[in-house]
Chains A and B, each alone.
Chain A
Amino acid sequence: MSASEIKTIEIEVLRYRPEQDTEPFWQSFQVPFSHDTSVLEGLQSIKDDLDATLSYRWSCRMAVCGSCGMMISGKPKLACSTFLRDFYPNKVQVGPLEHFPIERDLVVSAEGFISKLEKITPYIVPKEPRTIEQGEYIQTPLQLKQFLQYSGCINCMLCYAACPQFGMNPKFIGPGLMALVHRYNVDSRDGAREQRMELVDEEDVGVWSCTAVGYCSEVCPKKVDPANAVNQNKVNSALNYFGRFLKPQGGQK
């Protein structure tokens, strides 16, 4: 199809309005689209022209903010970087992210995710405090490379919708935040590794809930590769497990 040609596609949206619906249901819309119309723009044209009550999260529309994660025809994707042309002439199904409670329509509750985020010390705790006069913390390119990839996470939670283990056990810290734990743990400036490792080592919470399915890394829109971070921390956690017997008494918790 030429870039400007307008066609019509069926978009099925999972609706849930807690004040009037007892359970979620699929609602179908006929939506005009062209070659460059994203699923997000499809939802926007539903809201503008067909049904103003439709609720969904979005902000940047360029895969930077991580707001518009949804299940698009069964796969966790960002609505802004998924295009309707790839589904035509079939319909496209749009639902809220799996494994999260639905708040309204396509909006899920991120509360569980945020409370975990607060627990993992998601910031650098300086290993050695420096005064302003001492200047900045210097890092070599190699030290930067250790964590750069894992700092690309935009908290879109697609990996959580992809993770069957998180689906079965909501206590699991999960792929995205485990990548963030790793991002700070391997930063040469950071000194809080030990307190983060307590979570990594913990039963049902830490890294051992992972069964190496790997779908988290496949759906990551920023190529963070959380599965890799999780795997590296299985090694770290195993070293902790046996290493504590080698530590001086009183050194363990």
Chain B
Amino acid sequence: MKRANDPIFWLPFGAGGVLAALFGPALVLITGFAAPFAIGLGPDALGYDNMMAFAHNAIGKLFLFAIVVFFLWHAALRIYHTLHDFGVHVGTVLKLIIFGGSLVATVIAVWTLLAIGF
């Protein structure tokens, strides 16, 4: 029997799905409405200085990492499957582009979060 390798891609997909369900609507509300229109938040709530301080904090880093990376892997697998459902299966090439891209973006996210320091 040839064991499927899908769990490698499915676990971050699942994590992203859970995080998206938990935090997605709140993020849309905060970044899309509350912050830009200053509803219940100060005008600088998502300003550069505040966000930089957030990214310097270890817990803030962890949050940003999870939100960026797992959302990304979730979207990657969803796009891959949706293409498959519509009859587009280029196999290895498509997989390399989608998941290779996600891997590169993950590395960039980690590097950036570490590079801005604590």
Q: Which of A198, A212, A238, A253 contacts B7 (CB 8 A)?
A: A238
Query: Given contacts A211-B81, A211-B84, A212-B81, is CB(A203)–CB(B2) below 8 Å?
Result: yes
How many A-B residue pairs have C-beta atoms within 8 angstroms? Tell me: 44
**B residues apposed to A, CB below 8 Å:** 1-8, 10-11, 14, 81-82, 84-85, 87
With an 8 Å Cβ cutoff, the count of chain A residues facing the other chain is 20
Bound CA span A212–B81, Å: 9
A241, B3: Cβ atoms closer than 8 Å: yes
8 smallest CB-CB distances across A and B, nearest first, come from A211-B81, A208-B6, A238-B7, A241-B7, A203-B4, A208-B4, A203-B2, A202-B1
B4, A238: Cβ atoms closer than 8 Å: no
A201, B81: Cβ atoms closer than 8 Å: no
Residue A237 CB within 8 A of the other chain: yes
Q: Per-residue 0/1 for A224-253: is the Cβ within 8 Å of any B Cβ (1 yes, 0 no)?
A: 000000000011011001100000000001
Instruction: Please name all residues of chain A whose beta carbon is closer than 8 Å to the beta carbon of B3 when the two chains form the complex.
Output: 201-203, 241
Tell me how far the C-beta of B2 lies from the nearest C-beta in chain A, rounded to whole angstroms. Answer: 5
For chain A residues 55-87, which have a beta carbon within 8 Å of chain B? Answer: none
B2, A238: Cβ atoms closer than 8 Å: no
Tell me how far the C-beta of B88 lies from the nearest C-beta in chain A, rounded to whole angstroms. Answer: 11
Instruction: Please name all residues of chain B whose beta carbon is closer than 8 Å to the beta carbon of A165 when the two chains form the complex.
Output: 85
Tell me how far the C-beta of A86 lies from the nearest C-beta in chain B, rounded to whole angstroms. Answer: 28
A242, B7: Cβ atoms closer than 8 Å: yes
Tell me how far the C-beta of A237 lies from the nearest C-beta in chain B, rounded to whole angstroms. Answer: 6
Q: Who on chain B is nearest to A199 by CB?
A: B1
B4, A201: Cβ atoms closer than 8 Å: yes
Q: Per-residue 0/1 for A193-228: is the Cβ within 8 Å of any B Cβ (1 yes, 0 no)?
A: 000001001111010100111000000000000000
Bound CA span A204–B89, Å: 14
Instruction: Please name all residues of chain B whose beta carbon is closer than 8 Å to the beta carbon of A164 when the two chains form the complex.
Output: 85
Bound CA span A202–B7, Å: 12
Q: What are 18 A-B pairs at a CB distance below 8 A?
A: A165-B85, A168-B84, A168-B87, A201-B1, A201-B3, A202-B2, A202-B4, A203-B3, A208-B7, A211-B84, A212-B81, A213-B85, A237-B7, A238-B7, A238-B10, A238-B11, A241-B7, A242-B7
For chain A residues 81-108, which have a beta carbon within 8 Å of chain B? Answer: none
Q: Who on chain B is nearest to A237 by CB?
A: B7
Instruction: Please name all residues of chain A whose beta carbon is closer than 8 Å to the beta carbon of B7 when the two chains form the complex.
Output: 208, 237-238, 241-242
Tell me how far the C-beta of B10 lies from the nearest C-beta in chain A, rounded to whole angstroms. Answer: 6
Tell me how far the C-beta of A205 lies from the nearest C-beta in chain B, rounded to whole angstroms. Answer: 8
Instruction: Please name all residues of chain B whose beta carbon is closer than 8 Å to the beta carbon of A208 when the two chains form the complex.
Output: 4, 6-7, 10
